[in-house]
Amino acid sequence: MTLLLIHAAATLLMLGVILIVQRVHYPLFRYVRTADYEAFQAAHMRRITWIVGPAMTTELVTAGWIAWTPPPGLPPWMGWTGLGLVAFIWITTGLVQVPLHRRLADGFDAAAHRRLVATNWWRTGAWALRAGLALWMLGQGLGH
């Protein structure tokens, strides 16, 4: 049960973070003054890592644990589906979002910014699905 609680907490935290980032934070990037943009982007990347790094790592570790050793009463497909969504999020982050942030670290680039906002919906959707799945798994775990 503790595993499912920690897993759900990490996933729900990341859903909250990604929703704020997607709907508030990323759209505001375009309003930062050009002279301040590089410092802003560097600070964003440094500061957000302290929040998302531990939460994403916790989510990854617990998702793997659940997939390989499902708690009693949990169908194996739930764990593997959750782990697949985590893998999608990590791959998308590494191959799409991180390179776009690095590009923006050199100064505001409207095309990179538009792509960042547009492609981040993939992660937002994946975390929304993960949150629903994590709560469902938690409910299954409470039933046993």
Going from the C-alpha of 133 to that of each of 17, 21, 102, the distances in angstroms are 17, 21, 32
Q: So what's the pLDDT on residue 87?
A: 98
DSSP secondary structure code for residue 97 in this structure: I
Q: Which of 74, 78, 82, 116 is nearest to 99 (CA)?
A: 116
What average pLDDT values come out for the chain (144 residues) when binned by 10 residues?
A: 94 98 96 93 93 97 97 93 98 97 94 97 98 95 74
pLDDT of residue 111: 97
CB 140 within 8 A of CB 78: yes
Residue 73: its pLDDT value, please?
86
Interatomic CA distance for residues 112 and 104, integer angstroms: 7
The whole-number pLDDT of residue 143 equals: 73
> Cβ distance 15 to 128 under 8 Å?
yes
Check residue 28 and give its pLDDT: 95
The whole-number pLDDT of residue 74 equals 92
